[in-house]
Amino acid sequence: MTDALVPILVATLAAGTPLVFAALGELVAEKSGVLNLGVEGMMLCGAIAGFAATAATGSATAGMLAGVAAGAATALVFAVLTLTLQANQVAAGLALSIFGVGLSAFAGKPFESIALTAPQAFAIPVLSGIPVLGPVLFAQQPLVYLSWALFGLVSWFLYRTRAGLVLRAVGESPVSANAIGYPVIGIRYLATLFGGAMAGVGGAFLSVIYTPMWAENMTAGRGWIALALVVFATWRPGRVLAGAYLFGGVTIAQFFAQGAGAAIPSQLLSSLPYLATIAVLVLISRNPNVIRLNAPVSLGKSYHPDS
């Protein structure tokens, strides 16, 4: 039994990892009050940039760095539009998503028939020898470990550091933050760029490591799920992590069900991860007090220091 379980759990963690990156990045951006609906587009730009860089150099690390750069660059476009030019965040974010889909499809044409070899997993000595847990948790891709580090870092940053406190304050009330003397726009720029960079890594992980190939629109709505995760996790990193792995788990489970020839239309099965994740998150996030305490009050609202 456990022998069958290990590959399922390993695959679950891998399937959830792109979401962990993208959603934690978006969480930080939203905590500063910036609602960037362009996660899907930023992930796709990260995916094609990462794939192209890895295909050219053969290095997965180069691919990830390219993903970071591409994600941050698309986020920069969004930041200039919404933070400097005061465009509406919802409209600009939707536009960014559509733009990212198109741009990545165009740039990805020459790469469609190329296949990469996924880099080897990295087994941590000793720890990976633990039965069941060892191979599941400690024989993963380096990037999976990195996503855990990111989770710890984001949690620590938001709730234990002064900079994180300032970031939350900016998302809570930019007017008050400005009155006390914090550079609201600058802080929001940084948070938005971080969100973009993480979405880019999530995308590059998909195209370089998870399914080492490029296909048009290969994120298949994961960017939107990442956005939903952040909201339904009521802006708390722990719940984002749990939601991402829940999505990963159901994704893998439905693959196995399809493989086993379950008598359910495959389209329905493919939609299960999205349905299950949203349903569970909606159920656990019904407490209005929790939402009130964690939701950034100024989310999605433009702010200009002089107005």
Q: Which spans of this chain sit near other proteins (rule: CB under 8 A)?
A: 162, 165-166, 168-169, 172-173, 175-182, 292-294, 297
DSSP letter (8 states) at residue 210: I
* Least separation in angstroms between CB 297 and other proteins: 7
Q: Is the dihedral of CA 110, 112, 113, 115 positive or negative?
A: positive
* Least separation in angstroms between CB 192 and other proteins: 20
* Least separation in angstroms between CB 172 and other proteins: 4
The residue among 82 and 234 lying less far from other proteins, judged by its C-beta, is 234
Integer Cα distance of 275 and 250 in angstroms: 10
* Least separation in angstroms between CB 155 and other proteins: 16
Give 100-123 as a DSSP string: HHHHHHHHHGGGTT-B-PPPPPEE
The residue among 126 and 180 lying less far from other proteins, judged by its C-beta, is 180
The residue among 168 and 222 lying less far from other proteins, judged by its C-beta, is 168
- 123 φ/ψ angles, rounded to the nearest 5 degrees: -90, 125
Query: Are the C-beta atoms of 240 and 20 separated by less than 8 Å?
Result: yes
Provide long-range contacts, Cβ within 8 A and 24+ apart, for 52-61.
52/107, 52/108, 52/111, 54/116, 54/208, 55/111, 55/114, 55/116, 60/119, 60/208, 60/209
The residue among 163 and 268 lying less far from other proteins, judged by its C-beta, is 163
* Least separation in angstroms between CB 171 and other proteins: 9
* Least separation in angstroms between CB 286 and other proteins: 16
The residue among 64 and 177 lying less far from other proteins, judged by its C-beta, is 177
The residue among 124 and 163 lying less far from other proteins, judged by its C-beta, is 163
How far, in Å, are 8, 145, 215, 233, 287 from residue 101 at the CA level? 30, 28, 11, 26, 35
